[in-house]
Amino acid sequence: MERLQKVIAESGYTSRRKAEALIVEGKVKVNGKVITELGTKVSEKDIIEVENTVLTKEEKEYYLINKPRGVITTTDDDKNRKIVTELIPTNARIYPVGRLDYDTTGVLLLTNDGEFANILTQPKSKVDKVYLAKLEGIIKGDQINKLKAGVLLDHVKVVPSRVKLKKVNAEANTCYVEIIIHEGKNHQVKRMFESVGMKVEKLTRQRFGIFNAEGLKSGEYRKLTPKEVASVYSLKK
Ligand code: URA
């Protein structure tokens, strides 16, 4: 017997956290009966429906894409914008592991393996997210120090594990700063810079845990190797 949210996540339907939300919202049925209790245990024989779709088992797929600008990372969009899953031709119900903004580029993983996604996105895994931010204006030492000391986002202090000024372009009045964070709050990097008075003009994720976009042009993708998948599972606590 397994917990309902775990079974939903492992089917590839969605992440474990989203599965929990769907259960609480009354969108999950087991053998035709709505279940809103999170701890409910189910077996192989139970028929599980999520949002009126019966769960089926799917082969696990894992991709890394070098996300281009102008693509969203949710799985549907009311504004008819391009969706990142459309860039990968597969019938599997893959979805992004965490989010990148519409205008953010760089490393993004996609999978239909809810447990894999969960390992990488849960805060306790402390996965490095390395970003290179191009800023409007030139950041000063005291602004960098403020960031390093930690800033408040949603009433929670976030402390980056690294902030480093990489390049200054005095003529264009811009600079590039590398920042490494472990959380995945909405617009986190942009809001962190904003909180010290700087605006992010461009943002690229250069690394996510062990993954980088080496060898992939903008919009190109590759499958993860079994060794890469195993090394993510080795982070499981
Ligand atoms: N932080 C942001 O502000 N945007 C992203 O896309 C990722 C991290």
Task: Write down the pLDDT at residue 59.
Answer: 86
Q: Phi/psi at 93 (nearest 5 deg)?
A: -85, 70
| Mean pLDDT confidence for 59-75 | 93
138 pLDDT more than 90: yes
Number of domains in the chain: 3
d(CA 94, CA 81): 18
Task: Write down the pLDDT at residue 129.
Answer: 97
Ligand 1 close to Cβ of residue 29 (< 6 A): no
What CATH number is given to the structural domain containing 140?
3.30.70.1560
Question: What spacing in Å lies between the alpha carbon of 191 and ligand 1's midpoint?
Answer: 8
12 pLDDT more than 80: no
41 pLDDT more than 90: yes
Q: Is there a single domain that holds both residue 172 and residue 137?
A: yes
Q: Is there a single domain that holds both residue 147 and residue 190?
A: yes
Task: Write down the pLDDT at residue 199.
Answer: 98
Q: Which of 108, 203, 207 to mutate to test the pocket of ligand 1 (most atoms within 8 A of CB)?
A: 203
Q: Is there a single domain that holds both residue 35 and residue 78?
A: no
Give strand pairing partners of 135.
175, 200
What CATH number is given to the structural domain containing 106?
3.30.70.580
Provide DSSP, 102-162. Answer: TTEEEEEEEES-HHHHHHHHSGGG---EEEEEEEES---HHHHHHHHH-EEETTEEE--SE
Q: Is there a single domain that holds both residue 132 and residue 199?
A: yes
For 188-213, the pLDDT digits (tens) are: 999 999 999 999 999 999 999 999 99
Q: Is there a single domain that holds both residue 132 and residue 196?
A: yes
Q: Of all protein residues, whose CA lies closest to atom 7 belonging to ligand 1?
A: 100
Q: Is there a single domain that holds both residue 140 and residue 186?
A: yes
Report the sign of the C-alpha dihedral through residues 69, 116, 55, 30, in that order. negative
Q: Is there a single domain that holds both residue 38 and residue 134?
A: no
d(CA 177, CA 194): 13
Confidence of residue 11 (pLDDT cuts 50, 70, 90): confident
Ligand 1 close to Cβ of residue 202 (< 6 A): no
The SS3 assignment for 193 reads: helix
Ligand 1 close to Cβ of residue 190 (< 6 A): yes
101 pLDDT more than 80: yes
Q: Is there a single domain that holds both residue 132 and residue 182?
A: yes
Q: Is there a single domain that holds both residue 68 and residue 132?
A: no
Average pLDDT, the chain: 94
Q: Which structural domain, as residue segments, surrounds residue 47?
A: 2-54
| Mean pLDDT confidence for 170-191 | 96
Cβ(47)–Cβ(30) below 8 Å: yes
